[in-house]
């Protein structure tokens, strides 16, 4: 008796082992690679952030060991005591948050309005417009950013020419200062009381061009899930266009748009391309965001330790942003599903 159970259970045991081990075998290649080129560097970054780590610590011949300096890198960043002109940590963080928020609000509003417009029953050439409006999405971001930089050039840039053309319809001369703006470098703020440089408005213009189409795509998906009877019922009750939009469209769009808006916030918060290629932080580092500043610290200044501490700050900021937005999403969850 005892021998037969042993004979039976051996292959079963092996099968059992296989069932527990197999998932890990499937995961192994990806996890091993991620451990080496993602998780280890992230840990190494934290180590670097506590050290005075610069170019002399990685040079080819006898690199020096990096001295431990505790939290000094963090303190230097938080108190804006870096050897970089125009570096102000608090201003940088506030600008970065405002940059993400203002963009997302504009993208979502435009995306929803245009999606509603395109969803109008009986509209001609709808397919043509939809195909056309996806163009900004299919062009690589680096090209979008460099082309907009070129368009905002003060001498011979497309934007100033467009302004001059529109101005000429109203009989205004092309030499008017308002039509010859130094968009990306003008040091004075265009609107008094609002501490945002002209370059910010140029950036948000370019990013709006780039950002609303995807929002329209997501909004269309939600719009088409609204039962048509609802509008008919509302019409019978004599609801106005605005009442229908507020009480039906918005309510149905919210569960799809809110998560996408939160996701868009994180993406825009980390959007490297525009501040880097379009304004290069001009004027005076005021359009720099955290990711571009971190890259500059490492690439231009070779302050690897400081840059590492900077990235740790970035990580915690993102964590806070994600937690707050998730709370926000959970609070409005009653609309969802």
Partner 1 sequence: MSTINDVRRGRDVTAYFRFGRRVGARRGEDEKPLPWGKQIVLQLILIFISFTVLFPILWIFSISVDPRGLFRPEGLNLIPPGATLAAYQKVLAQPTSNPISFIELMLNSLKIALGSSAVAVGLGVTAAYAFSRLKFRGREALMIGILGVLMLPSVATIIPLYVFLNQFRIEFGDLTFNLRASLVGVSLAVVSSQLPFAIWNLKGYLDTIPRDLEEAASVDGATQNQIFTRVVLPLATPAIAVTGFLGFLGGWTEYLTCFMFIGGTVSDWTLSIALNSMVGQYARNTPWSEFAAFAILFALPVSLVFFFFQRFLVGGLAVGGVKG
CB of 323 to partner 1, least distance (A): 10
Smallest CA-to-CA distance from 110 within 231, 208, 205, 40 is with 208
209 binds partner 1, rule: CB under 8 A: yes
The answer to whether residue 216 forms part of the interface with partner 1 (CB under 8 A) is yes
Nearest one of 137, 120, 129 to 213, comparing CA atoms: 137
Q: How far apart are alpha carbons 76 and 88 in whole angstroms?
A: 11
147 is written with which tokens? 């082309």
Give the per-residue contact string, 51-70, with partner 1 (x = CB under 8 A; - = no).
Answer: --x----x-x----------
Which DSSP string corresponds to 147-163? HHHHHT-TTT-HHHHHH
Please identify which residue in 8, 94, 139, 178 interacts with partner 1, judged by CB under 8 A. 139
Give residues 156-195 in contact with partner 1 (rule: CB under 8 A): 156, 158, 161-162, 165
Q: Give the Cα separation of 133 and 320 in Å (integer).
A: 34
- Closest approach, Cβ 68 to partner 1, in A, equals 16
In angstroms, what is the minimal distance from the CB of 3 to partner 1?
28
How far apart, in whole angstroms, are the C-alpha atoms of residue 159 and residue 180? 9
* CB-nearer residue toward partner 1: 6 or 131: 131
Tokens 């505790």 belong to residue: 70
Positions 290 through 329 that interact with partner 1 (CB under 8 A): 291, 294-295, 298-299, 304, 307-308, 311, 314-315, 318, 322, 325-326, 329
User: Which of 200, 244, 259, 249 has the alpha carbon at shortest distance from 223?
Assistant: 249
Smallest distance, partner 1 to C-beta of residue 41, A = 4
7 binds partner 1, rule: CB under 8 A: no
Query: CA-based angle 256:259:263, to the nearest 5?
Result: 130
Total residues contacting partner 1 (rule CB under 8 A)? 108
What Cα–Cα distance (Å) separates residue 235 from each residue in 224, 232, 239? 18, 5, 5
Nearest to 148 by CA among 102, 183, 187: 183
Q: Which stretch binds partner 1 (CB under 8 A): 22-30, 75-83, 93-101, 242-250?
A: 22-30
Q: Which is nearer to partner 1, 6 or 132 (CB)?
A: 132
Residue numbers 255-294 binding partner 1 by CB under 8 A: 255-256, 259-260, 262-263, 266-267, 270-273, 277, 280, 291, 294
The Cβ of residue 182 has, within 10 Å, a number of other Cβ atoms equal to 17
Site track 97-136 with partner 1 (rule: CB under 8 A), x = hit: -----------------xx-xx-xxxxxxxx-xxxxxxxx
Q: Which stretch binds partner 1 (CB under 8 A): 76-84, 99-107, 211-219, 236-244?
A: 211-219
Q: Residues 113, 118, 119, CA angle at the centre, nearest 5°? A: 95
């Amino acid at each position: 008796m005892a021998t037969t159970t042993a004979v039976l259970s051996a292959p079963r045991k092996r099968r059992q082992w296989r069932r527990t081990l197999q998932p890990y075998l499937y995961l192994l290649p990806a996890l091993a690679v991620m451990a080496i080129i993602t998780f280890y560097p992230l840990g190494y970054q934290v180590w670097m952030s506590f050290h005075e780590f610069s170019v002399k610590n990685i040079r080819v011949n006898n690199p020096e060991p990096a001295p431990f300096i505790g939290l000094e890198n963090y303190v230097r960043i938080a108190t804006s005591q870096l050897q970089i002109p125009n570096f102000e940590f608090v201003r940088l963080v506030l600008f970065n948050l405002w940059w993400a928020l203002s963009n997302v609000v504009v993208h979502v509003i435009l995306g929803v309005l245009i999606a509603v417009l395109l969803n109008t029953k009986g509209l001609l050439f709808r397919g043509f417009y939809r195909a056309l409006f996806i163009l900004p999405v299919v062009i690589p971001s680096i090209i979008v950013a460099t082309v907009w930089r070129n368009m905002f050039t003060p001498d011979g840039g497309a934007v100033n020419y467009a302004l001059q053309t529109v101005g000429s319809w109203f009989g205004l001369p092309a030499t008017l200062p308002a039509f010859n703006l130094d968009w990306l470098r003008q040091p004075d703020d265009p609107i008094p009381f609002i501490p945002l440089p002209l370059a910010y408005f140029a950036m948000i213009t370019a990013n709006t061009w780039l950002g609303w189409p995807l929002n329209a795509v997501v909004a269309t998906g939600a719009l088409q899930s609204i039962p048509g009877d609802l509008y008919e019922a509302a019409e019978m009750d004599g609801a106005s266009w605005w009442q229908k939009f507020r009480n039906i469209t918005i309510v149905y769009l919210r569960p799809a748009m809110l998560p996408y808006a939160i996701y868009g916030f994180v993406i825009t918060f980390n959007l490297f391309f525009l501040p880097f290629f379009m304004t290069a932080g001009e004027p005076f580092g005021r359009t720099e965001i955290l990711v571009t500043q971190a890259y500059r610290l490492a690439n231009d200044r070779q302050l690897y330790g400081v840059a590492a501490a900077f990235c740790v700050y970035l990580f915690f900021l993102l964590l806070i942003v994600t937690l707050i937005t998730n709370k926000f999403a959970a609070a409005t969850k009653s609309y969802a599903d």
